Structures are given as structure tokens and as C-alpha cells.
Amino acid sequence: MTFLAVLPHLGVVLVAFSDDWYATILPKSMTLQHFEIALGHDLTVSAIANSLKFASISTLLDIVLGIAIAYVVVRSRIAGRQVLDFLSMLPLAVPGLVLAFGYLAMSQDGKLFSMLNPTKDPTILLIIAYSVRRLPYVVRSAAAGFQQTSETLEEAAQNLGATPLRAMIKVTLPLIMANLIAGGLLAFAFAMLEVSDSLILAQKQAFYPITKAILELFQLLGDGKFIASALGVWAMVFLGVTIVGMTVLLGKKLGAIFRV
């Protein structure tokens, strides 16, 4: 089952390394040239910069919103807080293409959010879409951190004169920093490689993120599919390094960060 799961990835890797592959089971010859071209192509340079910008801003929004939502759900006694928890998890249940077409429909000319029309400038809409799609990761990691940390520590700080907000910032947040780092890095890594929203909402080349650039490169005649596959391999390397680095940095398995 694992082999079947990674088989498409192996195919992409082989295409990226192949110099010529036609009517044979394996490539006839190998080359590293496509990887160099993939990072230096005019389309990919701007796409990487766009993805970094969109993913960074959306991750910051996710961290702020995730901490706030997790605090309300875990620490407060507000009626209906479970509904807020459910709504924050809802993006996991809705396909990305459905969400993307929803954003596209509500931002058309004559609609309420027409000022966000992606045909003009999709930046704001892409940041919102990335944030919504990856918010559940930060909410779950922050909620697990709050549940793993005793509330009495905040109460002790408040007894010494700290406000509830100051007690959370000075006492609780440093204790759950590992959870926030894990959730933030996951949100950032997956936002960098977001597919559905990028393909639908990024309609001008100047705003293409990495995944849309891969699609455009694949459609080029000649070496297009080889360069696109090489960029895809770079994306896989980025995601792998992020996960490994997160594990080394935090000193524990990634799943333990989200465990209650």
C-alpha cells in the first residue's frame, strides 16, 4: 500500500531526472539540468516569491486566529464555543475546489465582495483562502497545548495582579510554543504548496504561486513537463525538509504535539 501511495511521486522524480523518455519503461538517460532551469526560469522566480508572501501572511493570520479560537474553546465557558470549534474545522470537510469556486463566485462584478475580484488582483483573496484552508492545523495544535497546560498557572499569575490577557501571553504561550511552532510550520508548508485555490484564483501570471507555475510549465512544448516535474520535486524536498526539521527542532514526533 505504501508503494502504491508513493508511485506517482516516483514517476514525477523519474520525469524530472530524465533527459529523454519515450516508449521505454525507464528513462533512456538522466540529467540534472531540469532542476537548475526550474529554479531559474522567469515564471518560477516570481512564483516562489508570491508563494512565500501569500503563505507567510496567511500563516500569521492562522496563528493569531488559531490561538484566539483555541483559547475560547478550551479556556472559556462561553455558550456555543463548540460551534466555533466546529466551524474552524469545517474547511477540512469541504473540497478545496469547492471553496475556490465559492470565493470566485462571491467576488464577481456585482457581488458583495467584488472588490476582491481575482481577475484584477487575487492577493487578498488568495491569502484569505490559504488562511481558511490551513486554520484547522493551528487551532488543533493550539487547543492541544492549552489542554496540556494547567489552567492554575494562569490563575496564579492573575492572583499576583496580571490581567487574563497578560497571564496568557507571559505564562501559557511560552509553554505551548512547541505546539504553535508545529501548527504554524504545517500551515506554512501546505500553504506554500496549496493547489486548489491557486489554480482557480490566480488568473494573472504576475500573481502565480508555485503550484500554478507548475501547471503552466507543464503545458509548455518541449521540455515543459520535465521542468514542471523538477519544480514539483523541489516542492517535495521543501515539504520533507520542513517536516524533518520540525521533528528535530521540537525533539519529538510530530503527532505528539497534537496529542491531548
- Note whether residue 232 is domain-resident: yes
pLDDT, tens only, 200-228: 888 888 889 999 988 888 888 778 888 89
Confidence of residue 258 (pLDDT cuts 50, 70, 90): low
- Note whether residue 13 is domain-resident: no
Instruction: Identify the CATH number of the domain in which residue 162 sits.
Output: 1.10.3720.10
Give one DSSP letter per residue of 63-108, joined into a string: HHHHHHHHHHHHH---TTHHHHHHHHHGGGTS-HHHHHHHHHHHTS
- Note whether residue 2 is domain-resident: no
Please give the Cα distance from 54 to 5 (Å, whole number).
29
pLDDT, tens only, 139-159: 998 998 888 888 888 888 888
Mean pLDDT along residues 38-44: 83
- Note whether residue 129 is domain-resident: yes
Enter the pTM of the model: 0.84
- Note whether residue 6 is domain-resident: no
Whole-number percent of the chain with pLDDT over 90: 19
Which one-letter amino acid corresponds to residue 249?
L
- Note whether residue 166 is domain-resident: yes
- Note whether residue 3 is domain-resident: no
pLDDT higher than threshold 70 for residue 260: no
Domain holding 219, by residue range, is 33-257
- Note whether residue 193 is domain-resident: yes
Task: Report how many domains make up the chain.
Answer: 1
